Amino acid sequence: MKGKKRQNCIFDCDPGADDAVALSLSLYDDELDIKLITTVCGNLSLNKVTRNALHILEKFKRTNIPLAMGAKKAMERISPDATFIHQNEGLGGYIPPEIVETKPIEEDAIEAMYETIKKFKNDIVIFALGPHTNLGHLFTRHPDVKNMISHIYCEGCAPYGLKSEGRWVEYISFNVSSDPEAFKIVIDSGIPITIIPSRMGRELANFTEEEVNYIKTINDVGRFIYEIYSGYWEHNYPDRRIATNDTCACMIMRYPKLFKTKRAFFEVDTDKQPGKTVITFNRKGNINFAYKVNKKKMHQIFYDEIKKLDNFKFY
């Protein structure tokens, strides 16, 4: 928006199909000023998610944004991966090159985040789109940084109940269960946090197969997103659908009126059911929990963001 100050931000991510789409549509966003991208082991190994993030920067001609590599594993446990849905190379139906020319900066993600946050003290937000391992290490190593971050927007948690029909619809979500110890450090930090639960992207804001087919007709960027989505269908649903979890985590910062939220306190189990999250709604809670979205308007904004890149050509 003309004349509006752009929001300084850090993307902490594990691309991953959903991260890749969210990042792609944020690189030229008029309201975001991406100061740093950090990668973390999550959907795939650290090397693969870093390769994928660097490839996105090359593909969209934004290699001027520094990227730092983060944690190779969870803080206290063996890290799972999610190749079963993101595919072996992590970008769904799109196959990235094995090797990219762009390199990460020498500084590790924790120190790079610390220096960046200090530079933009109290005027920077974090999009945490993967497991919270980097943030867990950051707050442990540099506890003073917790007073410098304006807001954290993240995807992951399923607070209400049971595992159903073979899919994680309640209690457990990948980003939280991959490193519940780190998630606990983050939610106990006192920093204002907005959380998109897993159900939001999969069941309240998902794309249908027809909508995915429409995306590829928009322009070159739409075709790229379609290619990613073509290998990223959700499992164990009766229809073909694409989850928009990470996209929602970015959109709720830019378009908060699309969503309904409630203030809450969060708890996470790190013992008997690692990753199990339970919430208590309370107006004094530091967590802003999203429970509803205007799906039609959200999808239209998504299409419009792609259309803004009508003149962008990859080659």
> Do residues 291 and 261 touch, judged by C-beta distance below 8 A?
yes
Handedness of CA 174, 284, 118, 246 (dihedral sign): positive
* pTM confidence score: 0.94
pLDDT, tens digit, 9 for 90 and up, residues 5-61: 899 999 999 999 999 999 999 999 999 999 999 999 999 999 999 999 999 999 999
DSSP class of residue 99?
-
CB atoms < 10 A from the CB of 150, how many? 17
For the chain, give the number of residues: 315
102: amino acid identity, one letter: T
Q: State which H helix or E strand residue 24 sits in.
A: helix 17-24
pLDDT, tens digit, 9 for 90 and up, residues 172-199: 688 998 999 999 999 999 999 999 998 8
Domain ranges of the chain: 7-307
* % of the chain surpassing 70 pLDDT: 94
245: amino acid identity, one letter: N
Q: State which H helix or E strand residue 151 sits in.
A: strand 151-155
270: amino acid identity, one letter: T
Q: Which CATH class is domain 7-307?
A: alpha beta
pLDDT, tens digit, 9 for 90 and up, residues 78-108: 888 888 889 999 999 999 999 999 999 999 9
* % of the chain surpassing 90 pLDDT: 79
